[in-house]
């Protein structure tokens, strides 16, 4: 019977020891990290600058970012995008930014910004957000683009 007691004490000791040591490198449920990559120059006030193409009615530009958890890319995170700036076509208001996108296996997420020529000199605020299904956290951010 003393062998059984030793085994039980050993298992209990190992279990308690494991609780104090924990996992190195963080939890699977650590917060997501998002790094925005606009591919635009940024001024000292934090505003990005985008040149409008004079030879086209609309200028297309890709905005990207990378989403990671503990430095590891995260696939299939839905991002929502919006802006305070629209252009009109008849009775329709057309947004200058695509409304949603998903991260890929490399953690990369993309959307398109497409101002029209008449917006030269305007400043648009681009809003983004995403939901972490593991931690149930919502994250929101914004940045401003001046159309030159």
Q: What is the DSSP letter of 133?
A: T
- Mean pLDDT of all residues in 16-39: 69
42-46 long-range Cβ contacts below 8 angstroms, 24+ apart: 46/143, 46/144
Is 75 a residue whose pLDDT tops 80?
A: yes
User: Computed from CA positions of residues 38, 109, 138, 134, in that sequence, does the dihedral angle turn out positive or negative?
Assistant: negative
Q: Using 50, 70 and 90 to split pLDDT, how confident is the model at 134? A: confident
Is 28 a residue whose pLDDT tops 70?
A: no
- Mean pLDDT of all residues in 110-114: 97
What domains appear along the chain, each with residue ranges and CATH number? 27-147 (2.60.40.2550)
- Mean pLDDT of all residues in 144-148: 98
């Amino acid at each position: 019977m003393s062998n059984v007691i030793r085994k039980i004490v050993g298992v209990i000791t190992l279990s308690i020891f494991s609780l104090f040591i924990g996992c190195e490198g963080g939890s699977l449920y650590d917060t997501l990290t998002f790094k925005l990559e606009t591919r635009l120059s940024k001024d000292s006030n934090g505003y990005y600058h985008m040149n409008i193409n004079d030879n086209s009615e609309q200028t297309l530009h890709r905005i990207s970012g990378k989403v990671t958890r503990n430095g590891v890319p995260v696939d299939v995170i839905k991002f929502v995008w919006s802006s305070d700036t629209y252009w009109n076509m008849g009775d329709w208001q057309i947004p200058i930014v695509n409304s949603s996108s998903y991260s890929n296996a490399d953690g990369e997420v993309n959307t398109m910004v497409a101002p029209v020529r008449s917006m030269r000199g305007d400043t648009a605020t681009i809003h983004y957000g995403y939901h972490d299904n593991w931690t149930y956290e919502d994250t929101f951010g914004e940045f401003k683009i001046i159309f030159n």
